[in-house]
Amino acid sequence: MSCFRTRLAYRICKVLFQISPSLHVLSRFLTPPLYLVSGRKDLVIRAQNFGVKSEPELIDMMESGKELPELNRNLYPYVEPYSTGILKVSDIHTIYWEQSGNPTGHPVVFLHGGPGGGTTPSNRRFFDPDFYRIILFDQRGAGKSTPHACLDQNTTWDLIDDIEKLRQHLEIPEWQVFGGSWGSTLALAYSQAHPDKVTGLVLRGIFLLRKKEIDWFYEGGAAAIYPDAWESFRDLIPENERSCFVDAYSKRLNSDDKETQYAAARAWTKWEMMTAHLLPNEENIKRGEDDIFSLAFARIENHYFLNKGFFPSDSFLLDNIDNIRHINATIVQGRYDVCCPMMSAWDLHKAWPEADFKVVADAGHSANEPGIAAELVATNEKLKNLIKNGH
């Protein structure tokens, strides 16, 4: 019972730290101590394994200039792009792209989720802007890319071609690739197709786009954990069409009636947003009320899932790991990820033991979960140090 109380107190204090840093005094009752470093919003560090006995000592360690890749660091400050553009990638599609950080730094390309999710300014914050040349782009039909929510000429292989066209357009010989959720799917597929263009891989919330993963999230598996959120998603579909929700939603997302499309898009998007965090995130859930965002997010996701990612086999990404086995890679996975459950990250880990495998014990799916964000930043720091040292 005493062990249970200690674990419970630890979790309560960790949540309280995220609400109010002034409550740091409670950490002294925890073993190991949990320090919140003042002035670094969202940064919560467990001092275990660092030989740190006080918060000032921890701050001194961080400010010393000594690189500690294993240390969970804070997200970097917001930076503005130094260049943006629109690249025509097909007869009908254009993609929005932007660059921020160091124009002469090591290039890294961020692959957003969904598909259909688009990029946001916060995506730049995983990378040291003094070291990295940070490239973000909106995939076909998403964000600022046009035409909005378009499904024509929109497949995984089209997106892989777009990534290559963007790399060539920006005159980048090779780059680091970073992707989470669907972004991890695309990062794996791109890297397997063009391994000579990839200097390192950071993958989060692994999604291999297999049938069992789609069935888990859209055909009732995740509903066992979120039955309240599931009801709204389920109830949009008549009982006689519930044998396959992906099919049923496809009919509505591609309806000739715009309001039918929007209603289906809102329900589809809210279901994912309500399950993406370990603790409810109201700001994220509200994205499901934005018809413009939701339509692209839901239509494009559904299109890819209905077509099995346009892969030739269910195990395609696992079958081609040998193409990228040599690449320095890290897998970051939330233990309680409901959207992309850990079975997929585990299967990838077993197929690719050479890649570093980081499981965040108290996190769900989103890259914005404090523990996941910290691991992602720490991983980029590790790769940065390897590059600096000529590896």
Single out the catalytic residue among 100, 191, 365, 366. Answer: 365
Give the residues across from 202 on adjacent strands: 178, 330
- The answer to whether 300 and 174 have CB atoms below 8 angstroms apart is no
Measure the CA–CA gap between 273 and 341, rounded to whole angstroms.
15
Q: What is the residue-level pLDDT of the chain in tens, covering all 391 positions?
A: 444 444 444 454 444 444 444 334 333 334 444 444 333 333 333 333 344 455 555 445 444 444 444 344 589 999 999 999 999 999 999 999 999 999 999 999 999 999 999 999 999 999 999 999 999 999 999 999 999 999 999 999 999 999 999 999 999 999 999 999 999 999 999 999 999 999 999 999 999 999 999 999 999 999 999 999 999 999 999 999 999 999 999 999 999 999 999 999 999 999 999 999 999 889 889 999 999 999 999 999 999 999 999 999 999 999 999 999 999 999 999 999 999 999 999 999 999 999 999 999 999 999 999 999 999 999 999 999 999 998 7
User: Dihedral, CA atoms, 226, 214, 184, 139, nearest 10 degrees?
Assistant: -100
Task: Please give the C-alpha separations between residue 361 and each of 15, 20, 65, 248, 369, in angstroms, as whole numbers.
Answer: 14, 22, 28, 35, 11
How many Cβ atoms sit within 10 Å of the Cβ of residue 251? 13
Decide: pTM greater than 0.85. Answer: no
- Domains of the chain plus CATH, in order, are 2-63 (no CATH), 79-391 (3.40.50.1820)
83 has catalytic annotation:
no
3-state secondary structure 213-251: HHHHHHCCCHHHCCHHHHHHHHHCCCHHHCCCHHHHHHH
256 has catalytic annotation:
no
Question: What beta strand segments (E) does the chain contain?
Answer: 34-36, 44-46, 83-88, 94-101, 106-111, 132-137, 175-180, 198-204, 329-334, 356-360
- The answer to whether 366 and 122 have CB atoms below 8 angstroms apart is no
Single out the catalytic residue among 100, 181, 184, 366. Answer: 181
Pairing of strands 175-180, 106-111: parallel
Write out the H or E segment, with its range, that includes residue 319.
helix 316-319
Place of tokens 């209603």: 263
Q: Which amino acid is at 204?
A: R
365 has catalytic annotation:
yes
Single out the catalytic residue among 337, 344, 349, 366. Answer: 337
